[in-house]
Amino acid sequence: MRTTQYGKDSVIRTIVICSALIAAGVWLHSAGGAVIAAGAMLFIAFSLYFYRDPERSAPQDPAAIIAPADGKVLLVRPADHPMTGQPSTLVSIFMSPFNVHVNRIPASGRVTHLAYHPGKFLMAFDHRSMSDNERMEIGIESRFGPLWFCQVSGFLARRIVCRLEKNDTVTTGNRFGMIKFGSRVDIVLPAGIEACVAVGDRTVAGETVIARSKGL
């Protein structure tokens, strides 16, 4: 399984530290040492699992907007957003620590807005996290109109990775960053775009169609 480029440094550090712990555990020749070695091996395995980055194929549907994150849909509701106007639709996706955490572009276009906000680390399923937590806002001018989406940190998440720059041209389904550990991604869809997911649905970043344009 491929490891994401956004986590290679973390994986290498984990392997180095845990390898030292495994060696120490073996050297101790005791029950405690065996526990230390086993715990270190499990931590290496979880790190490799968490930073996995499977290949994805975006649907060839010009009317589709694709999920930017793996996870579970927490919210689908009307929204009034300064970038997308009114009526807009908010779709929120919760990412547990067991989901793939690499984020992907929901629709092709040009990056027009990037804004990082430091903040709290509330539980990602707490809807106050949308405005109070550390987050990275991204705006794209797409064929559907303006799209706004946001990487939001969670209780465990302490680092948001976003490799986009303003005026970048982006393509549906391409990787652009990740959020480390439990977190959420919110996306606001402009008028004329109809959400086709419901609360409780599971999404796969880069593959699940979360909305479609009525005019395409």
Catalytic residues: 183
Q: Taken in order 78, 155, 153, 203, is the CA torsion positive or negative?
A: negative
Residue linked to tokens 């799209």: 147
What 8-state DSSP symbol labels residue 121? -
Is residue 154 within 8 A of residue 121, CB to CB? The reply is yes
What proportions of the chain, in percent to the nearest 5, are helix, strand and coil?
A: 20, 40, 40
Q: Which 3 state secondary structure label does DSSP give 81?
A: strand
For the chain, report the end-to-end CA distance as a whole number of angstroms: 36
Q: Which 3 state secondary structure label does DSSP give 83?
A: coil
Segment holding 110, helix H or strand E: strand 109-117
Phi, then psi, of 123 in degrees rounded to 5: -55, 135
